[in-house]
Structure 1
Amino acid sequence: MQRWHDGNHFTLLENGEQFFPRVFACIANARTEVVLETFILFEDKVGLQLHEALVAAARRGVQVDATIDGWGSPDLSERFIASLCEAGVRLHVFDPGPRPFGLRPNLLRRLHRKIVVVDGEVAFIGGINYSADHLGDFGPQAKQDYSVEVRGPLVGEIHRFAHAALAAGSRHTPHRRWWRWRRQARFAPGQLAHAGSARAMLVTRDNGRHTTDIERQYRIAIRAARERVVIANAYFFPGYRLIRDLRRAARRGVDVRLILQGTPDMAIVKVGASALYNHLLKAGVRIFEYCERPLHGKVALVDDEWVTVGSSNLDPLSLQLNLEANVVIRDRDFNALLYERLDALVRDSCRQVQPESVQAAGGLRQLLRSFIAFHLVRIYPTVSAWLPRHRPRLMPAMARPLAPAGAPPIGQERR
């Protein structure tokens, strides 16, 4: 059950330039434990830095559990995995699945969360993966994204959740559950000192008892909005009820702004979102397309206190299929900081979508596409319930013998 925790402090981390140094520094200072989940881990310069940090932590006696998604991180070399395992890192692969004929058919219900907990004292949660395309020097395809560093009692909740995910997925090793429970008890939320003034909760989405929790928190905040709603989201094709709440908020005078992809990393992303533009613009919603590089963020704020940051997009995959995790924060200072960052994004790097331009690009084809899109958002929650809901599995990555002495460093053979 979701619980509010008082006394937290949040640090906003924008893009890999701010996120990676903080995560790697905390892992470097870990004393007892690192628990990490990510959708994507690539064997590039960022992945190699993470690899080095995890190996060093494990070799000095820190318990390291790292979970990657079997579809999001499919191409790690045997040497990369073997060196982690040899150092003592417990590397788990979420639903690796078969790959007949080299294909990856198991695309549904992926592990999309991005969580790190170090020593049960500091946590990170957001939308940033471990890949070089989250750094500005990657080029025009570098992603714009956000994460938060968390300190305070909420860390205990995130820590407990991360361990529960390990236990639930690793049913082939039940003898380890008691050990994990003992470690969890050492970091119960009540034992962590207050670190700030923010009230916050962890909100997750799964395919069991928490299928709509993240969407529900969005809708509660939007329905209560009196002044402003600002949503920056990479993949925007939400359900009918959330669209209805946005339209109603705009019609009652709330300043509703959507910051969406103008330079999409996948063409279908913009096609889907733009099909909804007409419905939203008619109600008074303002839409801005971020054009500097692909937007990958999943953040929102309402009025002058409410904020959410996490891994969940506002599309069918995140809202109906994937495993996701967001934090919901009530803090005026943090809200003001995020608003300042998003307002600068709108001012410096976005173009506003004008109703005339949507109508000018219209015609029968646009009208038909808009009609189909609008009714798809009404039915896809029902359709998604028909899709398979298998029990997710965590499989341990298999250690293989390391290359002989004198072999090139990890990653160099891929350059």
Structure 2
Amino acid sequence: MTRRFFIFLLIALSAAGFFICCFNSTAATAGNAPALTPAAIFDELARQSGNPAAFARMITDNPEAWYARWYILNEAKKSIDTTYFIVDKDVFGMSFLGLLLKKAKEGVKVRLMMDARGSKDLSHKMMGQDYLQELLEVPGVEVKVYNPLSDNFIKMFGNLRHVVSSNHDKIIIVDNDYVMTGGRNIEMNYFVDPADFSRAYIDSDVILKGAAAAHELQKAFDEEFNSHEVFKVKRDLFGNWKSRAQELEFARRAMEAYISGMGLLNGSAIDKDYEKYIKELAQYKNLQSYNGYKPFNGDHEYPFIMLDKHSMKGPRNDITPGIGAMIRSAKSEIIIQNPYIVLTDEAMSALREANARGVKINIHTNSPMSTDSTATQVFFSDEWAKIMKELPNLRLFVCPGPQPLHSKVFVFDREVAVIGSYNMDPLSEQINSEIVSVIKAKNFALRLALRIFEAEKKSIEYKIEVMKNGEIKVINGPVNHSDPEKLEKLRKLKKLGFLRPLI
């Protein structure tokens, strides 16, 4: 039985109220708890994967998230495979490329992929491929761009989803040992302390160590890297008109020195254009504690699985049915922290079933004042009260701003934790490529739940009252804390409701 078929079978059986004897489920008790549970679903999926286990740590602190990436990339001796939706041309993106270039020159095999839309400043031929081509000057390096617009210009007139379809994965695999995934891209907003930049993201990653973790994530990486939807970046016939190697190396050295507490380098002494990287770093006073950093210190091995999803251009989708099955089978509590709540029929159906059984549902998301996505807020601000009416057991919290929430995590029954790139919207469910790590451990899940509850203490709880005639009375909502101009903008944009399936 394949994993995908098994998940769909779980959904069908749990939705119909059947028991599956192979789990030795006891009879449903008070509250009509389902025979299946998220833990039982995890156990079966783990069994199919050989019951993998790995050392694992969640990382929510922004500077540490950068230190962890810098550490494992520096540790590479044999191979680095990495893919990101966004690699920016700021000091983080340039030093990231500089570190890949350094490791390639040391003989490390490097495979890099980025998304054409998310990383447009680097991936477009006429805008930034010089930096990527610089890596290709070193043997053993492959660079690919996912789903470039040039390959879909004609297709978009038949189906606009061909253009917006992206590789939304965030993956690093080093030496078949260290792996990292989660919500963060390679860009300043994800790694600086909010004390240094008020709009720094609130996000979550997971770092794992062990051959089993690398093996599972490697399959997800290879399927996308070797797909037909990628464009292989090639060296210019006569090389770059202007070499970018020195610039990338300077960005790397500047980053290494600064985060290690050694201060700022003098960029203008080499090239006046490099001073921009020094000016960037100088803003981040709380990014100087890397010296002596190690990502693992007394951490535990945990059972885990990876759930993968191709974009609409590929056949695999383990995530949507997997998370749907866990929502439907939750015994007592579902905690969701997600930046974009634009619920599809599938997601809403699963939540309704859980609510009908008395399962407590807790959602933490963005408000009009914190969001980085106006498009998703157009629909969320219009739909949140209706969602609460349909889900009486739901408690809904929103970030008040200015920090945007970008974390994509789920906690089921405080026993199964999910951390990855998957949003609660049509784009993730039906169009983009995504990846999540699922860990079954009560202490791990509890720590993740408590971190969400701490964030909710600084958030705003939306509340409604359903009147006897069925009408909704808003007790506390966007209008109570948001800028009227922003709300008016969202109201006007509701006319673009036909775009909801692409959001």
CA distance in 2, matches of 1:323, 1:223: 23
Whether 1:93 and 2:151 are equivalent positions in the alignment is no
The one-letter amino acid of 2:428's match is S
Go from structure 1 to structure 2 and tell me whether the alpha carbon gap of 1:376 and 1:242 turns closer, same or farther (over 3 Å shift).
farther
Q: Offset at 1:141? A: 2.3
Q: Deviations over 1:258-285 (max 9, x none)?
A: 1110211122222212333223322221
1:350 pairs, out of 437, 446, 459, with 459
* Equivalent in the alignment of 1:131: 187
How far apart in 2 are the matches of 1:80 and 1:43? 9
In the TM superposition, residue 164 of structure 1 has moved relative to its aligned partner by 3.3
Once the two structures are TM-superposed, the CA of residue 16 in structure 1 deviates from its matched residue by 3.3
CA apart distance, 1:227: 2.0
Q: Which residue of 1 aligns with 2:267?
A: none
Partner of 2:13: none
Q: Residue in 2 aligned with 1:107?
A: 163
Q: Give yes or no for contact 1:305–1:332 (8 Å, CA) kept in 2.
A: yes
Q: 1:205 aligns with which of 309, 314, 332?
A: 309
1:180-217 superposed Cα distances (whole Å, 9 cap, x missing partner): xxxxxxxxxxxxxxx94422211111233324x21212
Change (3 A) 1:46 1:250: same
Q: Which of residues 163, 177, 180 is equivalent to 1:121? A: 177
Cα 1:110–1:78 shift into 2, 3 Å: closer
Q: 1:359 aligns with which of 473, 481, 494?
A: 473
2:371 is paired with a residue whose SS is coil
Q: 1:55 aligns with which of 101, 108, 112?
A: 101
- 1:201-280 equivalent positions in 2, closer than 5 A: 201-206=305-310, 207=312, 208-211=314-317, 213-262=318-367, 263-280=370-387
Q: Which one of 207, 215, 231 corresponds to residue 149 of structure 1?
A: 207
The answer to whether residue 60 in structure 2 is matched with residue 14 in structure 1 is yes
* Partner secondary structure for residue 264 of structure 1: coil
Which letter maps to 1:266? S
Residue by residue over 1:110-133, the C-alpha shift from the partner in whole angstroms, topping out at 9 and shown as x without a partner, is 111001100011111111000001
Change (3 A) 1:28 1:268: same
| Contact kept in structure 2, 1:221 and 1:306, CA below 8 Å | no
One-letter amino acid matched to 2:315: R
Cα distance change of structure 1 residues 98 and 376 upon mapping to structure 2, 3 Å threshold: closer
Residue 82 of structure 2 corresponds to 36
CA-based RMSD: 3.0
Contact kept, 8 Å, 2:147 with 2:230, in 1: the verdict is: no
Deviation at 1:356, TM superposition (A): 4.7
Counterpart of 1:248 in 2: which secondary structure? helix
Aligned to 2:244: none
The worse-fitting range, judged by mean Cα deviation, of 329-338 and 278-287 is 278-287
Q: Structure 2: how far apart are the matches of 1:203 and 1:376? A: 30
Aligned to 2:414: 304
Q: Which residue of 2 aligns with 1:290?
A: 399
3-state DSSP of counterpart to 2:215: helix
Between the aligned residues of both structures, percent identity stands at 23
Provide TM-score, normalisation by structure 2.
0.63
Map of 2:438 onto structure 1 = 328
Query: Considering only CA atoms, is the larger Rg found in Structure 1 or Structure 2?
Result: 2
Gaps of at least 5 residues in structure 1 are: 174-194, 363-368, 385-415
Residues of 2 paired with 1:343 and 1:172: CA distance? 43
Instruction: Give the Cα separation in 2 of the matches to 1:42 and 1:125.
Output: 18
Separation (CA, whole Å) in 1 of partners of 2:433 and 2:357: 34
Supply the distance in 1 between the matched residues of 2:184 and 2:326 (Cα, whole angstroms): 24
Structure 2 equivalent of residue 407 of structure 1:
none
Aligned to 1:83: 134
In the TM superposition, residue 78 of structure 1 has moved relative to its aligned partner by: 4.6
| C-alpha deviation, 1:43, in angstroms | 1.0
> Shift of the alpha carbon at 1:340?
1.4
- The residue that corresponds to 2:224 in the other structure is 165
User: Given residue 359 of structure 1, which amino acid in structure 2 is its aligned partner?
Assistant: K
How far did 1:57 drift?
A: 0.6
Deviation at 1:172, TM superposition (A): 9.2
Deviations 1:150-183 (A, max 9, x none): 123132111233223322348999xxxxxxxxxx
Instruction: Please state how far the C-alpha of 1:301 moved relative to its aligned partner.
Output: 0.4
Letter paired with 2:473: Q
The alignment covers a number of residue pairs equal to 345
**Letter aligned with residue 29 of structure 1:** E
Indicate the residue corresponding to 2:118 in structure 1.
Answer: 72
Secondary structure of 1:359's counterpart equals: strand
Please give the alpha-carbon distance, in whole angstroms, between the structure 2 residues aligned to 1:8 and 1:233: 25
User: One-letter code of the match for 2:105?
Assistant: R
Does residue 281 (structure 1) correspond to residue 388 (structure 2)? The answer is yes
Matches of 2:178 and 2:404, distance apart in 1: 29
Rounded to whole Å, the distance in 2 between the matches of 1:170 and 1:244 is 32
The separation in 2 between residues aligned to 1:220 and 1:25, in whole angstroms, is: 36
Indicate the SS of the match to 2:150.
coil
Partner secondary structure for residue 12 of structure 1: strand
Partner of 2:249 in structure 1?
A: none
Residues 330-352 of structure 1, C-alpha deviations (whole Å, 9 max, x = no match): 111210110111010011x2100
Moved over 4 A (4+): 170-173
When structure 1 is superposed on structure 2, of 109-118 and 137-146 the one drifting more is: 137-146
Higher RCO structure, 1 or 2 (CA under 8 Å, sep 6+): 1
